[in-house]
Structure 1
Amino acid sequence: MPSFDHDYELRRFAPEIVDGAATPATAGWVAAERLAFHETHHDDPETVAAEARRMITDDRELTGVYARETRPGTLGADQPVGTFVSFTKTLNVGGGRLVDAHLISDVTVRPTHRRRGILRRMMTGDLHRAAERGAAVAALTATEATIYRRFGFGPATRQRTISMSKREPLKLLTSSRGTVELADPTTLGPVAEAVFDAFHARTTGSVDRHAGHWSRMLAGVDYGTKPDPNLRAALHFSPEGTPDGYVTYRSAERGDDVVLTVVDLVTASDDAYLGLWELLASIDLVTEITWKAAPIDDVLVHALADNRHLTVAREQDHVWLRILDPVAALEARPYAADATVTLRVHDRLGLADGTFRLTASGGDGTVERLVGPDGDPAQGADVELDVSVLASCYLGGSDVVTLAAAGLLHEHAPGAVQRLRTLLTPERSVYGVTSF
């Protein structure tokens, strides 16, 4: 039977622009990625170059898997049958501590080339290379929930899609102490970035933003160069006059209704969150408000005078984490109590496999890797779990007691799960608004 290397060639390269145009390799990779996600592809050089510039800004590394043999009339040799991209942004692991995370995105395999080891070759090779470079954690956002657990990823943050009816007036029980002003989304960039930086610094689970995400949130541009003329924006100012929140939104008719869709809502204070929702609730000629990135623990449930106006249409996983170095990852985050717990971690890829003693004191943790006399992982662990489960509870977004009840985490010492639960309690609800 032919091997992977017989049928395919894996190439890693940086996106490039030469004489104002994306190189053929870059343009072919972009075309393949757009095709896989059922997105419109434009062949004009300016549009493709704009996408390449965003990738260059983020210092992305592109991976493409190319068929060694192409047949007449098919998409051709410039387009890979599998795509994969990786780059680095920071992850807030609690207490304002920002850790470099190895981000993975644009993972595709052409349907005509499935079940031939393409995804496994791209993913395992990339994870091992990231670990060798010293990355403590990797992260991705998934279009499907059943793909990445086998590679050691676990869902670590979640979001909700919410809608609120405005057929009756929406009222909040309290008012913001600040003020709100409408803004021009095309000139909002520097202010929005400063607000996001403050949000990122205070929010456990937040991932720093990349150039493509900013284009979608502030210009409505998913691919190309032309901003969405229907996008609107507003800023919230603290009582001292400092911008501490913003929202971008658009509205559209849907039958007899007018639906306002929140595109991006980022706040660096609780006042700003309430103030921007006061504005959205007051906009005339709107019958419904929707948002796909609301927090799980949403203060609107308590702030609305009648929270029956709020409907949760869907709850979904958002950021999936993968622990590459348990010692570095566990020592990077803060802890809510003083205690010691020994963890037996299983990892089929071998990157994080072992037994680790976590000792937390004064908010910081130290981790010791335990090895038995014959070189095998030490016995006597308090808690046993897969590396994907460790990823899910790492930030505190998934309760270890609930994970244990689901059969995903096993207690070997009485009280160990409760100790671990106390240790991992986050100071704020785990949340994030960056997709990648």
Structure 2
Amino acid sequence: MSSLADQFHSAALDEQLASTFEARGLQAARVGDDDREGTRRWQDAVARGFLDGEPTEVQYTESFARNGYRRKVGVYDDGGVQADVPVATFASWGTELTLPGGSAIPMCAISAVTVAPTHRRRGILSTLMRGELRTAVSLGFPIAGLTVSESGIYGRFGFAPAVTATSWEISTRRTGWIGPVAPGRIDYVTREQGRDAATALYERVRLDTPGEITMPGGHWDRTFGTRPDVEKADKLRVVQYRSPSGEVEGVAIYSISEDDDDWAASTATVSRVVAGTDAAYAGLWRFLLSLDLVGTVRASELSVDEPLWWMIDNKRAARITSRDHHYLRVLDVPATLAARSYDVDDVIALEVSDPLEIAGGTFILSAGETPGVDVVDEPPLGVPVVRLGVAELSAILLGGVSPVTLARAGRIETDDPHRAARVFAATTTPRLSFWY
């Protein structure tokens, strides 16, 4: 763990956060990494918030063992019957976010945000979010991010959908393969072998795609069913792609759901494809679309610009749905904008408003090979001005949406949206290949 992540993990709760809850008869507290019983009760609250059943002993044990990297916060009501079970939960940790151009910046990742139905409409989430973001800012995180279950919640805190994900359902009987025929070979491997290969491959390729983050602790074991609390791990099948020279360049994991009415119409659900080369990508997807006794292949958390679209001959055999996925929230405008790359040399002014008064101000972005950002009182004459909220800035950061689109939607104001669009354009469509 980086020093910044370490500092954030162990930082004291924001004083304003703590005092606000105390004034309302509630107590906010960090759940210690060594507090086994407190972690169980915190996990109970998280399970309740996400409509899950009561955790099993195996789930308690695995969560305690694997989630120590998370900064866990609970809000407690001493007047409740179960006073040791938090009425709200919040988890966060330090990670890295890939930006256009292959650079990465520290990011405060947020997860496990819940408020008990008995304590809604009391400002608990607002107090938690504001306080934890203040802590992240004080330590130097330039950006925060989260994946959401409900998309209407986080805009008021300055978050915006920066990465869209797609889900695919392909009728393999209705389409044929027109993509490249990869020269390597496909082999079945154990879940452990697949996990190890995917871990190494992802770390190698994550800087190629804006929007990807460092894989959180325990996620690979969950994906590959190599931890005791994963249900139906025995249904998972793993294959790897090896180049002609013998290098492992790709891994795919899937499971099969049989169709009792038509044994040749089973469904394959692809959990993950990690490809380090174009040949591995083509080889693995060609294999998955030609599985015996399978009529439908499903996959999710794919890009909105997936190469697979151009590898099947009947586009209408694929039903594709899109959904907001990775939300970002800029905390430090100069640090964030200076960290990404730009394909044009230009200068624009950004007048940023921020509902939480964290990242607002007027900034001059000098885009180019060596970008720079200056804080000014007024934009200089002759420089085009873009007026936008921090949410809109967060949305265009990775190139996932054009400023032209946001201008037409009334979300930003500028006399030259096309010029701003050229500045923030990215050659690689952003993607986040998992939930966290």
% identical aligned pairs: 31
User: Which consecutive aligned stretches of 4+ in structure 1 deviate over 6 angstroms post-superposition?
Assistant: 377-381
2:338 to 328, 331, 335: 331
1:296 to 304, 313, 316: 304
Aligned match of 2:323: 316
Aligned match of 1:48: 60
Aligned match of 1:122: 128
Matched, 1:352 2:326: no
Deviation at 1:60, TM superposition (A): 1.1
Deviation at 1:290, TM superposition (A): 0.4
1:27 to 24, 34, 40: 40
Aligned match of 2:250: 245
CA contact (8 A) 1:220 1:231 kept: no
Deviation at 1:254, TM superposition (A): 4.3
Aligned match of 1:258: 266
Consecutive unaligned residues in structure 1, runs of 5 or more: 18-22
For residues 145-173 of structure 1, what are the alpha-carbon distances to aligned partners after superposition, in whole Å with 9 as ceiling and x for unaligned? 10000000010001111111123463234
Structure 1 counterpart SS, 2:344: coil
CA distance in 1, matches of 2:288, 2:267: 11
The one-letter code matched in structure 1 to 2:178 is L
Aligned match of 1:160: 166
What does 1:106-117 correspond to in 2, within 5 Å? Answer: 106-117=112-123
For residues 24-62 of structure 1, what are the alpha-carbon distances to aligned partners after superposition, in whole Å with 9 as ceiling and x for unaligned? 111110111011112233342x43121112111xx2110
CA distance in 2, matches of 1:189, 1:255: 31
Deviation at 1:297, TM superposition (A): 0.4
Matched, 1:7 2:25: yes
Aligned match of 2:401: 398
1:64 to 74, 79, 83: 74
CA distance in 2, matches of 1:214, 1:227: 16
Aligned match of 2:238: 233
Aligned match of 1:272: 280
CA contact (8 A) 2:174 2:314 kept: no
> Which of 166-175 and 59-68 deviates more?
166-175
What does 1:168-183 correspond to in 2, within 5 Å? Answer: 168=174, 170-183=176-189
> Which of 296-305 and 113-122 deviates more?
296-305
Structure 1 counterpart SS, 2:235: coil
Deviation at 1:215, TM superposition (A): 2.5
Deviation at 1:268, TM superposition (A): 1.9
The one-letter code matched in structure 1 to 2:244 is P
Deviation at 1:192, TM superposition (A): 1.1
TM-score, normalisation: structure 2: 0.90
1:145 to 122, 132, 151: 151
Deviation at 1:289, TM superposition (A): 0.3
CA contact (8 A) 1:220 1:227 kept: no
Structure 1 counterpart SS, 2:27: strand
What does 1:373-392 correspond to in 2, within 5 Å? Answer: 382-392=385-395
CA contact (8 A) 1:344 1:381 kept: no
Aligned match of 2:3: none
> Measured at CA, do residues 14 and 114 of structure 1 come closer, stay the same or move farther in structure 2, by a change above 3 Å?
same
The one-letter code matched in structure 2 to 1:232 is R
CA contact (8 A) 2:21 2:28 kept: no
Matched, 1:201 2:207: yes
CA distance in 2, matches of 1:297, 1:255: 35
Deviation at 1:123, TM superposition (A): 0.4
Matched, 1:210 2:216: yes
Structure 1 counterpart SS, 2:245: coil
CA distance in 1, matches of 2:207, 2:67: 24
CA distance in 1, matches of 2:315, 2:175: 12
CA distance in 1, matches of 2:119, 2:354: 28
CA contact (8 A) 1:333 1:364 kept: no
> Measured at CA, do residues 231 and 310 of structure 1 come closer, stay the same or move farther in structure 2, by a change above 3 Å?
same
The one-letter code matched in structure 1 to 2:229 is G
1:286 to 273, 294, 298: 294
CA distance in 2, matches of 1:259, 1:220: 23
CA distance in 1, matches of 2:372, 2:89: 38
Structure 2 counterpart SS, 1:385: strand
Structure 2 counterpart SS, 1:156: strand
2:412 to 409, 412, 420: 409
The one-letter code matched in structure 2 to 1:16 is D
CA distance in 1, matches of 2:284, 2:97: 26
The one-letter code matched in structure 2 to 1:217 is T
Deviation at 1:287, TM superposition (A): 1.1
> Measured at CA, do residues 402 and 127 of structure 1 come closer, stay the same or move farther in structure 2, by a change above 3 Å?
same
Aligned match of 1:20: none
CA distance in 2, matches of 1:364, 1:238: 37
Number of aligned residue pairs:
412
Consecutive unaligned residues in structure 2, runs of 5 or more: 1-19
CA contact (8 A) 2:224 2:233 kept: no
CA distance in 1, matches of 2:269, 2:304: 18
> Measured at CA, do residues 52 and 25 of structure 1 come closer, stay the same or move farther in structure 2, by a change above 3 Å?
same
TM-score, normalisation: structure 1: 0.90
> Measured at CA, do residues 78 and 170 of structure 1 come closer, stay the same or move farther in structure 2, by a change above 3 Å?
farther
